[in-house]
Amino acid sequence: MTHRFYWLRGTAAVCVAASALVAGPAHAGLFDDDQARQAILDLRTKTDNLTSQLAAAQRTLLDQQGRIDQLNQQIATVRGQNEDLANQVTTLQKQQKDYYTDLDTRLKKFEPQQQTVDGVQGTVQPGETEAFNAASQQFRSGDYKGAAAAFRDFVAKYPQSPYQPTAQYWLGNALYALRDYKGSTAVWQGIVKNYPQHPRAPEALLAIANNQLEQGQKAAARKTLQQIVSQYAGSDVVQSAQQKLAQIK
């Protein structure tokens, strides 16, 4: 009886030990699978987090890119507006310059101007040049009567004008064209008397000599021509005077 009890007890111990050997590796394998599963879950979670972070970063980049594009568009718009403003400023500056230039030109018409007439400089009053040119145009167009009247008006209206000797010279020519030999001679003699150093003076003397020759006053014409040669030796008129002197018999 006692012997059998010890045998059964030993057998039970062997079974428990065997069970322990079998159960040990099974628990160990189960523990390893749980750890691997948890590791996978952790890795998946990290991956999901990284994916979310990456997606958020991409959205942020897209948003920033969109803002950059908007800023670039705004910059382009502002640049275009600046160019338009610059063009407007340039146009306004040109218009302002043209306006003041035109205004200055208009004002100068009402101010005395220094001008050279037949090589002689003098002060020209507003309206002088226009009046002289108008009279000259009448003469060139063959309106000698109108030209004579216009030159007379000019001589009376602008006594200090540098155009005076020239206006009187053409007044004499207009009277000559109207066959007023006495009147033309008187006008030309006035030039010689009042403006003896003016370039028109020897021309006036030559015109007087022509008048005298046409009226048969050879002695008077010879005297006038000799005056040109002696008094205006440096003038271009001298050669014409000498030729006429040679023709007088």
CATH architecture of 113-247: Alpha Horseshoe (1.25)
In contact, 191 and 198? CB cutoff 8 Å: yes
Tokens in use for 154? 């000019």
The length of the chain is: 249
What's the number of CA atoms in the CB half-sphere (13 Å) around residue 5? 2
DSSP sequence for 194-249: H-TTSTHHHHHHHHHHHHHHHTT-HHHHHHHHHHHHHH-TTSTHHHHHHHHHHH--
Question: Would you list the domain boundaries of the chain?
Answer: 1-108, 113-247
Q: Please give the Cα distance from 211 to 208 (Å, whole number).
A: 5
In contact, 162 and 120? CB cutoff 8 Å: yes
* pTM check: above 0.75: no
**Mean pLDDT rounded to a whole number for the chain:** 85
pLDDT classification of 17: cutoffs 50, 70, 90: very low
pLDDT digits (tens, 9 = 90+) for 212-230: 999 999 999 999 999 999 9
